[in-house]
Structure 1
Amino acid sequence: MKKGMELDYEMDFSFAKRLETQQLRSPTSTVLSPQSCKRRLEFDNYENARHICKASKDEFSNKKSGSIILKARREIKFDINNTNSNLDKCIKYIPDINRNIPDFNNHIFNVNKIPEEQSIHRLQEENISLRQCNKITEIRLTADRYIPSRCGNNWQTDYFNTPEKINEYKISAKKIKDCDASPGNENLAYDCILRNEILGENIDKVTCFGKDYRMATPENKQLFKFSSPIKNDQNFEAHAFSVSPVGSKSQKLLRSPCKTTRKISNIPFRVLDAPELQNDYYLNLVDWSSQNVLSVGLGSSVYLWSASTSQVTRLCDLSYQDNSITSVSWHEKGNYLALGTNTGTVQIWDVTASKAVSEVTGHSWRVGAAAWNGNVLATGSRDKVIRVTDIRIPYSSENVNRILSGHKQEVCGLKWSPDGQLLASGGNDNRLHVWNNHSCSPFQSYTEHTAAVKAIAWSPHQHGLLSSGGGTADKCIRFWNTLTAQPVHCVDTGSQVCNLAWSKNSSEFVSTHGYSQNQIIVWKYPSLTQVIKLTGHSYRVLYLAMSPDGESIVTGAGDETLRFWNVFSKSSLQKENKSVLNLFSTIR
């Protein structure tokens, strides 16, 4: 019997003062072994105990505790005389957890006092005699004492149905190992070959189940298979005269290409200091241009960092205006930068000439969100208004194309759809609005979020798919089909959702979070499984931007640091055009 094992089950019995005999059995109808074996009984906290085993009798008297070694035969009866009336005892049976049939050698039975009100009458209600269970016991005794019978067991199903595994694989956010993008089984191919050669299975393709794979029910396959043999002389001859030590299926498995596993480092490849980076959920102070230049709003200044040369320059300083930066947004071409300020004005800067070329006014409070659509700039403010402006027109009362009023609190998120036809906005009023180019009223409105909606992202791979994330009271990422105005998916992240961004090269997206873990999570869509969870920031990860190649992201937090991560796969290279019909590609 192994030490330290948990109890498989308990047997509770109720003994009255004048009760003479009881038959010992288990809840699973397993009786004491017909074979002779030793028992150890421990009696605690009572005056007298007398055990009757057919003709032999051992007695303890005037002792608070004692033990007895006896031989158990086919029938065992207990006759306990006790000076205390209505004494209840609990007998615990500790079986060997690894055996399929009960072996009772050297097993321990503990007899302890339990409260009188917890008397169990199950024995009287479900009494099954030993003689009635003899047939069941004889069936189970087909195995050797040390080599139990395991025939007919489905080990994969049995393994995952153990209590420990069932608790381990409870349904939750599907997580995998943090340091590996898609963890595979290292010896999976080797295991498949062994199954082919030893068990006779015909596996010719390695199927990789993640570590979160669980078979909840047995495989649906027939116990017996009947079919006429198919004669294949060519295959038979090839197998008979093959010099390979493995069969044809295993050879095909070994020749099959192995897909490389993408590794994601859980350590940022670069960390930059960002002093005075505000810890404000409603601001957007980091953006990455198509020219590979990162812009960061720090206090009243805007700094540019070139990812190619690692050179840092200060674009502007608004401290002389007693103003501060509340949002930054790059033009699609990367030559203009829109700066939202605390006073409500929006400045357009030419980064090549390092000067302001235009200014958009009209907001009465700070501008916390801005988004470009060609030469049209949408800005959202704390005054609950969204202004859509064409910056090519010199400022006048007519250059404001539209004023969108629909939010009841501050606008903190703005994103244009990839085709530029729809604008999504999120606000502190827990609402997500979708606007088109023909109306000043929301085209669609979603009210399922229960906290501020700042995180907004359009899928570049599926037309009309919009994702949004809620704040601390919501903690959910929701997906919407704007073509049908219907919700698609929802996943509870367990923490505040601050930003969302889709991969340009794969069907994955990244989310940044706040309280309480301050993590960065890469997700697969539509399975919504976590690819990796990155940690490192000590404050909420409020800012997120993606590199122009779509492979790296930069995150900013209230800990005044910018961290760079490689999280997404590289884009597939375009094939070179080698058509002979292109007469201008080669010289003849």
Structure 2
Amino acid sequence: MDLDYQDRLMRQHYGGSSVGSSQSPIKCVSPFKLASPSKEKLADRFVPLRTNARWALNFGSPNDKNKPSAPPPKKSKDLCPDSTKDHYAYSCLLTNELLGHDISDIKYQDLSQSERRALVPVRTNPNQNLLQFQTTNRVPGTENLDPSAPDYSLSPINKASQNLLMSPRKAVRKICKQPFKVLDAPQLQDDFYLNLVDWSSQNFLAVGLGSCTYLWDATSSNVTKLCDLASEDDAVTSVSWADRGTRIAIGTRRALVQIWDVSTQKRIYELSGHAARVASLAWNGDLISSGSRDRSILHRDIRHPRVVPDRELKGHKQEVCGLKWSPDKQLLASGGNDNKLFVWDNRSNTYLQQYTDHIAAVKAIAWSPHQHGLLASGGGTADRCIRFWNTLTQQPLNSIDTGSQVCNLSWAKYTSELVSTHGYSQNQILIWKYPSMQQVVKLTGHTFRVLYLAVSPDGESIVTGAGDETLRFWNVFSKSRAENDSHSVLNLFTQIR
């Protein structure tokens, strides 16, 4: 090799240091010894850090900045009900195919979230192999006895899985958690024992505000002042519409019951007889029943009003704050501040039944329109329970602790659902599915106790009132009839035609 060329080559390699031309290339110093020592420790291989690689979502290098990263997985609460339902169906399908189960139908819409997790099938046989490399031996001649045998099916999945995929699915009912209308209700009293809101069959909402009673037309949203008791030094303590929606009863603080004609906006009767405020009212045709702080219940027929009431019911030891007639108008349920629930017959002055399981005031009372003799009641702050009673057999059926004061109860018109409003301390509105008592939805928005509740005449909407002086309207119920209607032989009203 040319010595000049070798010298230039060595200078380029060593950064310009000169090497004598007379030096032999064999005697030159190794470039690995002349190079500046590196501060990093060299290893024979590179082991990447794979702690945050997320291989389930991204198969590329976690340090690859040019490749877009996969979005983070969604939490379960962000998943829509349809995707959650599909995921549950897919899990059941895999369970059928891999574990040999026979799940052919899913009633997902009737399950709560905890039950959906609990009902996900698991492998019950610990000796069952998940992956089998050979089929099980079969007895000759018994192949056709197994309808799910894959050897004779055109589908790659068994018969149970085919039924699972072809089973009809009901649309999940979605309830809006926001009110569709909010109205101001100044001077709406924050008193647990009063009943100041009622919705008529003619779609008029009556609200007692201080000494006045207002009517709100749900069709046109017009507001009318029906009466003002300020000149009489009185205040409204309860309102109740007659069944036909043309007359309204108003209970007052001065122990009076006034009957008003809505069409003429005139007072027809003023009935006395109580010694204290009238906190609860209930109609039975032309018969008006009133409950008072004087612990009595009075029955009066407005067709022949008398100074002396037709009948007087005595049994409560404290104020009567809840009154409800049964759908057949034969029984009257009354609740009082003495923690007792009474059931009265329409033709007797003594109570037929007495229930004393509540340990707080019983204001919330509701008769089921779907099952004859089924009565629901709710207790106050110390009780917090919704209890169900069979008035045909006088037996308690069920009890559930709601966690807060039960102020009102009302059944859905077409489905086996129940709405309850609550006070201390959560101030929420709950929709329940009966008889499982699973929570369908929880509605919040009121900042005070939800003391008042009324259902619209079409059975779809409810209105709630609270001490925050607001009325909130919610769409909560469906018009579809319940599939599992009661057909008990004890219910004579479903048998007679």
TM-score range, shorter chain: 0.7 to 0.9
- Alpha-carbon spacing, 1:240–1:407, altered in 2? closer, same or farther (3 Å): closer
Tell me whether 429-438 or 231-240 shows the greater mean CA deviation. 231-240
Match of 2:48 in 1: none
Partner of 1:147: none
Letter of the 2:90 counterpart: Y
Instruction: Tell me what 2:354 maps to.
Output: 445
Q: 2: distance between equivalents of 1:509 and 1:346?
A: 30
Q: Residue 297 in 1 paired to residue 208 in 2? A: yes
Which residue identity is paired with 2:414? N
> Which of residues 164, 175, 178 is equivalent to 1:267?
178
Tell me the number of residue pairs that the alignment of Structure 1 and Structure 2 aligns.
395
State the alpha-carbon separation in 2 of the partners of residues 423 and 413 from structure 1.
Answer: 10
Q: Which residue of 2 aligns with 1:466?
A: 375
Contact 2:292/2:319 (8 A) holds in 1: yes
One-letter amino acid of the structure 2 residue matched with residue 204 of structure 1:
S
Q: 1:481 and 2:390 equivalent?
A: yes
When residues 450 and 201 of structure 1 are mapped into structure 2, their CA distance, relative to the original with a 3 A threshold, is closer
Q: 1:392 to 1:510 in 2, by over 3 A?
A: same
**1:407 Cα shift?**
1.0
* Partner of residue 210, structure 1: 112
Separation (CA, whole Å) in 1 of partners of 2:261 and 2:466: 27
Residue in structure 1 matching 2:144, options 232, 245, 269: 232
Aligned residue runs from structure 1 range 367-446, under 5 A: 367-397=278-308, 400-446=309-355
Query: Are 1:182 and 1:262, in contact at CA under 8 Å, matched by a contact in 2?
Result: no
Within a 5 Å distance, the mapping from 1:310-349 to structure 2 comes to: 310-349=221-260
Classify 1:528/1:210 alpha carbon distance in 2 versus 1 (closer, same or farther; 3 Å).
closer
Alignment of 1:27-42 (within 5 A): none
Gapped runs of 5+ residues in structure 1?
1-175, 574-588
Match of 2:165 in 1: 254
1:524 matched to which residue of 2? 433
3-state DSSP class of the match of 2:86? coil
- 1:140-289 matched pairs, under 5 angstroms: 185-199=85-99, 201-208=101-108, 209-213=111-115, 214=118, 230-232=142-144, 242=154, 249-289=160-200
Compute the displacement of 1:512 (Å).
Answer: 0.7
* Alpha-carbon spacing, 1:344–1:196, altered in 2? closer, same or farther (3 Å): same
RMSD of aligned residue pairs (Cα, Å): 3.1
Do the aligned residues in 2 keep the contact of 1:178 with 1:534 (CA within 8 Å)?
no
- 1:3-26 CA-partner distances (Å, limit 9, x unpaired): xxxxxxxxxxxxxxxxxxxxxxxx
Structure 2 Cα separation of the partners of residues 183 and 413 of structure 1? 44
TM-score (norm 2): 0.73
Contact persistence 1:496–1:513 (CA under 8 A): yes
Of residues 477, 482, 485, the one that matches 1:568 is 477
Cα separation, 2, equivalents of 1:296 and 1:178: 39
Structure 1 residue 506, shift from structure 2 partner: 1.2
Distance 2:84 2:409 in 1: 27
Quote the Cα distance in structure 2 between the aligned partners of 1:447 and 1:178: 44
Q: Are the counterparts in 2 of residues 344 and 363 from structure 1 also a CA contact under 8 Å?
A: yes
Q: How far off its partner does 1:563 sit?
A: 0.6
Gaps of 5+ in 2: 1-75, 129-135, 483-497
Q: TM-score of the superposition, structure 1-length normalised?
A: 0.62
The 1:548/1:235 distance shift into structure 2, 3 A limit, reads: same
The 2-side partners of 1:181 and 1:331 are apart by: 42
From the superposition, tell whether residues 294 and 239 of structure 1 become closer, same or farther in structure 2 (CA, over 3 Å).
farther
* CA distance in structure 2 between the partners assigned to 1:351 and 1:190 by the alignment: 58
Q: What is residue 557 of structure 1 aligned with on the other side?
A: 466
Could you tell me whether the CA contact under 8 Å between 1:267 and 1:565 is conserved in 2?
A: yes
* Alignment match of 1:362 (pick from 273, 295, 299): 273
The offset of 1:253, in angstroms, is 3.0
CA displacement 1:44-73 (0-9 Å, x = unmatched) = xxxxxxxxxxxxxxxxxxxxxxxxxxxxxx
